[in-house]
């Protein structure tokens, strides 16, 4: 069985390779752009059959250079929500994805691809339906346009596809192997480094009708993202667009106190309540950035109706357990 993972050296892609390896699958073609060379670290401990530069892969795949491929996990994209070069964003996220879809259909190769909760943008409801899709930036629009294109090509019914097509609208994913993402890494990753360097973590102050650190997101641990992808891999008869979050929004304050307590736990300290951490100066609130005004989702919560209806009953980690596990991994990987 031959598998392709695009964006294989990235955050979600490398974790998918790891998850496939755990099943004994290593006939994997890893596709990425290693211009940012330090991303190689995400692949160094994993088993793959070949590495293909992204600039070569898409045309070669369309020309059937790789023989019969069972499935493509398409995670490759520009994921910087602050990127304003729309031409670049559309070429990377929209055009390549549509080309890949057509090639997969022609070769009867299954396609499991990354969409995004950014497709909802300014909506206050998060169900996989056009009336709730209101992207706030060109990244969200590029991801939405892929979903819309596939809907049109398949007559609104993904079951019409020649072979499985499943898109996952990732909510706020955090966990190991995201260190290369810079400003787009999760708040948990940034707070880990803040605590080590400054002895405190930082959160946005009041914004959007929410108090300090009170903005709420659906935070999903990377292990859960991999588990759901692999569930669909095991169920090739299931196609569609699916939210991939926990279905439970939690405030950024929950991330902050989980980070603080997990890192203090390493020093045998007693866990603190949020109010105690704030009063002790361990959590610091900063003014909401002007650059994000009008472009920021203050609340997200995945509606899991479609996911559950498909039969995926995976139990997701909450912030406390997921962040605690992540802090342990970060401590061990940074010495």
Listed residue (144, 327, 174, 324) closest to 241, CA to CA: 144
Asked whether the beta carbons of 43 and 84 are under 8 A apart, the reply is no
Cα(167)–Cα(307) distance, rounded to whole angstroms? Answer: 11
Cα(40)–Cα(30) distance, rounded to whole angstroms? Answer: 11
Q: Which residues are catalytic?
A: 139, 181
Asked whether the beta carbons of 285 and 205 are under 8 A apart, the reply is yes
Asked whether the beta carbons of 114 and 16 are under 8 A apart, the reply is no
Instruction: Please name every residue paired with 193 in a beta bridge, in sequence order, or none if there are none.
Output: none
Q: Which residue has the tokens 């361990």?
A: 282
Cα(46)–Cα(318) distance, rounded to whole angstroms? Answer: 27
Residue 97, SS3 per DSSP: helix
């Amino acid at each position: 069985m031959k598998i392709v993972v695009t964006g294989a050296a990235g955050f979600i892609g490398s974790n998918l390779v790891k998850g496939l390896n755990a099943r004994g699958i290593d006939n994997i073609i890893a596709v990425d752009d290693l211009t940012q060379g330090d991303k190689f670290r995400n692949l160094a401990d994993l088993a793959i059959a070949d590495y293909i530069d992204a600039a070569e892969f898409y045309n070669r795949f369309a020309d059937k250079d790789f023989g019969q491929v069972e499935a493509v996990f398409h995670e490759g994209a520009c994921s910087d929500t602050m990127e304003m070069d729309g031409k670049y964003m559309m070429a990377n996220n929209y055009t390549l994805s549509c080309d890949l879809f057509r090639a997969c259909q022609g070769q009867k190769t299954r396609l499991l691809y990354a969409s995004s909760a950014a497709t909802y943008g300014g909506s206050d409801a998060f169900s996989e339906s056009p009336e709730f899709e209101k992207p706030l930036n060109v990244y969200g629009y590029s991801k939405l346009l892929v979903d819309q294109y596939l809907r049109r090509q398949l007559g609104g019914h993904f079951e019409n596809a020649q072979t499985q097509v499943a898109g996952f609208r990732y909510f706020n994913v955090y966990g190991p192997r995201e260190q290369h993402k810079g400003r787009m890494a999760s708040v948990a990753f940034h707070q880990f480094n803040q605590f080590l360097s400054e002895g405190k973590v930082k959160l946005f102050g009041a914004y959007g009708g929410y108090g300090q650190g009170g903005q709420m997101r659906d935070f999903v641990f990377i292990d859960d993202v991999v588990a759901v992808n692999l569930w669909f891999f095991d169920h090739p008869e299931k196609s569609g667009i699916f939210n991939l979050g926990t279905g439970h929004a939690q405030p950024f304050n929950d991330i902050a106190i989980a980070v603080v307590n997990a890192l203090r736990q390493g020093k045998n300290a007693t866990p603190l309540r949020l109010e105690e951490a704030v009063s002790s100066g361990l959590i610091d609130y900063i003014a909401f950035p002007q650059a994000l005004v009008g472009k920021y989702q203050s609340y997200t919560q995945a509606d899991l109706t479609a996911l559950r209806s498909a039969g995926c009953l995976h139990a997701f980690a909450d912030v406390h357990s997921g962040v605690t596990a992540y802090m342990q991994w970060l401590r061990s990987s940074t010495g």
